[in-house]
Amino acid sequence: MKIKIQQKILMEHLNYVIKGISSKNLIPILNCIKFDLKKEGLYLLSTDNEIAIKTFIDASDIDSIDELGEIVVAGKYIYDIVRKLGNEVINIEEVIDAQILITTPTSSFKLNCNNVSEFPNLDLEFSQKPVILNQGLFKKTINQTIFATSTQESRPVLTGINLKIRDKKLIFTATDSYRLASKELAMDKLDIEDTDIIIPARNLMEVIKLLTNDDESLELHIFANKVVFKFNTITLMTRLINGTYPDTSKLIPEEFTLTVKVNLDKFYTAIDRASLLTNEEEKNIIKLETKDNFLILSSNIPEIGNVEEKVELLDKVKNNIKIAFSAKYMMDAIRVFDSENIDLKFNGEIKPIIINDADESNLIQLILPIRTY
């Protein structure tokens, strides 16, 4: 392999594939990036077996392709070296078997390479009928749900986002069993059989970091044990989580004894302040009650003091509620709404609290209350 390429172009693509490498991996080959130089351009590939990323630099963006070939080199080192070179033309050349020379007029790096044949097959196939959607919309949907996934490995299925496809709808659901976030996307045309998969949240985070063109589209190629995402110059595979996702469809009630509308920003900042006098070990519990035309939020740490926050109700209400919940969970849930106002829906002090917004009714947030009264 022998190539001359602008540092800036190579760096952009190394930034993509470096996300496929976990620095904690003990198997050296899984810390590597594969360069595959073909006539049509340069492919860069990385994988830690759970996620695999491929990107492509077209020959027209390369200064000179002098000798086709493949190399596999330690990802961390090639990434840092290219990053610290200025924006000039870099020569990369396999000088002897399994050793490359990276040079500019003033720098000369020799790096030992790994065996090309040991690099795993990335398994980047495409399906006949991908789901095609807008990158910006997908990113927003994931951001509105992913925080509700569990970080505890004791129930692996809850560490992913559940994607169901049925009736021309994509339904994204995340829950850690204390709260739930769910968003539905109605698709105009969707010619794909019913689907029910669990995508690891960790890998979805990497996908959305790479989605830079909000107006461009993204393809999801869904298989039994993996999803392959295709967007921009990138192909990204993530394994799925095995197991059955809990049936959450019956958790969201149809009717409520009390619905209150509040200004999102005022409600958020009030909770943020009320949470100052709570203990993190106790999940930052704050109490909420309706009183006249206000929500009253309160909390206390006995030895320090107490706080009471008032938030104006935008509609008159007849019923009243007294309920307690985790300030952190409530703030996570309401932060993802774009709207000016939100609705809080109650069915009593031990029933789930539902948060949504009339203008964005396809997004639902649920929080379990905490018994204190």
In this structure, which amino acid lies at residue 290?
A: T
Q: How many residues bind its own copies (CB under 8 A)?
A: 31
Residue 308 near its own copies by CB under 8 A: yes
Residue 307 near its own copies by CB under 8 A: yes
Residue 108 near its own copies by CB under 8 A: yes
Identify the residue among 2, 61, 109, 259 touching its own copies (CB under 8 A): 109
Identify the residue among 25, 99, 339, 347 touching its own copies (CB under 8 A): 99
Residue 272 near its own copies by CB under 8 A: yes
Residue 311 near its own copies by CB under 8 A: yes
Phi, psi of 263 (to 5 degrees): -70, 125
The stretch near its own copies (CB under 8 A) out of 17-25, 34-42, 77-85, 251-259 is 77-85
Q: How far apart are CA 338 and CA 334, in angstroms?
A: 9
**Two tokens, residue 300:** 């206390």
Residues 6+ apart with CB under 8 A from 251: 180, 352, 366
Virtual torsion, Cα 337, 338, 344, 349, nearest 10 deg: 20
* Nearest CA among 16, 29, 175, 22 for reference residue 98: 29
Q: How far apart are CA 310 and CA 173, in angstroms?
A: 32
Residue 85 near its own copies by CB under 8 A: yes
Which residues on adjacent β-strands are paired with residue 103? 91, 108
With contact defined as beta carbons under 8 Å apart, do 23 and 32 qualify? no
Identify the residue among 27, 66, 68, 86 touching its own copies (CB under 8 A): 86
The stretch near its own copies (CB under 8 A) out of 2-10, 101-109, 173-181, 186-194 is 101-109
Closest distance between its own copies and the C-beta of residue 334, in Å? 16
Helix (H, G, I), strand (E, B) or coil at 56: strand
Query: Which is closer to its own copies, CB of 63 or CB of 265?
Result: 265
The stretch near its own copies (CB under 8 A) out of 58-66, 119-127, 305-313, 315-323 is 305-313
Q: How far apart are CA 230 and CA 66, in angstroms?
A: 29
Query: Which is closer to its own copies, CB of 23 or CB of 151?
Result: 23
Residue 239 near its own copies by CB under 8 A: no
| Binders of its own copies in range 273-292 (CB under 8 A) | 273, 276-277
Closest distance between its own copies and the C-beta of residue 38, in Å? 25
**Beta carbons within 10 angstroms of residue 243's beta carbon:** 12
Phi, psi of 104 (to 5 degrees): -130, 175
What does the binding site for its own copies look like in residue numbers (CB under 8 A)?
74, 77, 80-81, 84-86, 99, 106-112, 266, 269-270, 272-273, 276-277, 303-311
